[in-house]
Amino acid sequence: MDLVQLLVDPLQYGFMQRALISALLVGTICAITGSYLIVRRLSMLGDAVSRAVMPGLAIAFLLGANIFFGAFIAGVTATGLIGAIHTNSKIKEDTAMGIVFSSFFSLGIILITKIQKDNKIDLNHFLFGNILGVSESDLITTLVISVIVIATISLIYKELLFHSFDPLGAKSVGLPVQALNLVVMSLIAATIVASMQSVGVILVIALMLGPGSTAFLLTKKLKTMMLLSVAVGAVSSTVGLYLSYYLDISSGPAVVMVSTVFFILSFLFSPRQGLLTHFLHKDQDEPSVSGSLPKSAYKP
């Protein structure tokens, strides 16, 4: 079977077409929001939030409300609780995160297990994704979310860059940092819910951090990092999906493994950061430190 046939064969099925588009969209928005988490050193919070949305989903189901709203509220509540515990006691942030997200997660499992038979939802689908069962309306929702995420990040990119690099400087200049945090928080929650169908709640953080980390080791600018992470995310999702088709393995984990391979390659061979690159070019010069003196320094 030649390569073209290999690529085209699965796509004759509607379910694979939808799975692929979903995987691409999800790979893209996870990469973008994940990049942000990485540079803001919020990866653990991202992990916590990805599991904390569970009870929000369950309650939304029960009330017949929109699941994204439920997820968003759960995410914001969890973040707020983490902050409250941390600022009002000796407990450090990582501990607060662990406590909050595991309790939210447990609550979510209890609720979903209770309601799953009546609502014909499957806990496994939430945890591990159900990309083969993506419907057209699911796809449209994911598309809308993706557009919102991409548009928002593009529109407030420079403010996000400033704020994520130097939060104090940004605040002192008058940027509305709380609002920015809330906006990004919303985007992350929306990304998590949209991505659930692809890789599930448990692995969505991997899809957020993997491509971003790969790009982080290869770039010097945030914009480049985000674009590269999107490329890595999209490719990983596609390759992972094809692998799951031909090797008859679970698709979510396949995608994560592919993105891990990319990360390993980047980790070892990045021109500036790679482990093996340093090893192989032991006597490369250090970048020059002196630089030019400011014109004004040449004073008599």
Partner 1 sequence: MLDIQNLSVRYRKNLALERASLTIHPQRIVGIIGPNGAGKSTFVKAILDLISYTGTVTYKNKPLKGQMKQVAYVPQRTAVDWDYPATVEDVVMMGRCIHIGWLRWASAKDREIVRESLVRVGMESFADRQIGELSGGQQQRVFIARALAQKADLLFFDEPFVGVDQTSETIIFQIFEELRNEHKTLLVVNHDLGEAVSHYDDILLLKNRVIAFGPRETVFNDENLALAYGGKLSRFVDSDGSTVVLS
Partner 2 sequence: MFIPKRLLPNFFAPWFALVLGLTLTACGGGSSTEKSTAGESNNNAVGLLDAQAEEFLNSPKPKIAATSTMIADMARVVAGDDFAVFSVLKPGTDPHIYEPKPGDSRVLSKADVIFHNGFNLEPQLVKVINATQNPAPKVPVAEAGGVKPYKMEKAAGLVVADPHAWGSATNGILYVNAITKTLDAKYPDKKAVFDKNATAYRAELTALDRWIRAQIATIPEQTRKLVSSHDAFQYYGRAYGLPVVGSILGVSTEEEPSAQKIAKLIEKVKKEQVGSVFVETSTSPKLLESLARDAGVKVGGTLYSDSLGIAGSPGDTYVKMLVANTRTIVEALGGNYTAFVPPSTNQASK
Q: Which residues bind partner 2 (CB under 8 A)?
A: 10, 13-16, 18-19, 40, 42, 45, 60-62, 64-69, 72, 79-80, 82-83, 86-87, 93, 111, 113-115, 117-122, 124-125, 128, 130, 132-135, 137-138, 140-141, 144-145, 148, 176, 178-179, 181-183, 186, 190, 197, 244-246, 248, 250-251
At closest approach, how far in Å is the CB of 1 from partner 2? Answer: 14
Q: Which distant-in-sequence residues (6+ apart) come within 8 Å of 251 by Cβ?
A: 19, 23, 129, 131, 132, 198, 199, 240, 241, 244, 245
Min. distance of Cβ 172 from partner 1 in angstroms?
A: 4
Q: Nearer to partner 2 by C-beta: 121 or 268?
A: 121
Question: What is each CA distance from 21 to 7, 14, 15, 203, in whole angstroms?
Answer: 14, 11, 10, 19
Which tokens belong to 90? 């000796």
Residue 23 Cα to chain centre, angstroms: 13
- The identity of residue 137, as a single letter, is S
CA 296 to chain centre: 47
Interface residue with partner 1, options 3, 4, 247, 297 (CB under 8 A): 297
Q: Which is nearer to partner 1, 64 or 174 (CB)?
A: 174
Under a CB-based contact definition with an 8 Å cutoff, are residues 129 and 252 in contact?
yes
Q: How many CB atoms lie within 10 A of CB 28?
A: 21
Q: Which of 84, 133, 172, 276 binds partner 1 (CB under 8 A)?
A: 172
**Contacting residues toward partner 1, per CB under 8 A:** 39, 41, 155-156, 158-159, 161-162, 164-166, 168-175, 216, 219-222, 224-225, 287, 289, 291-297, 299
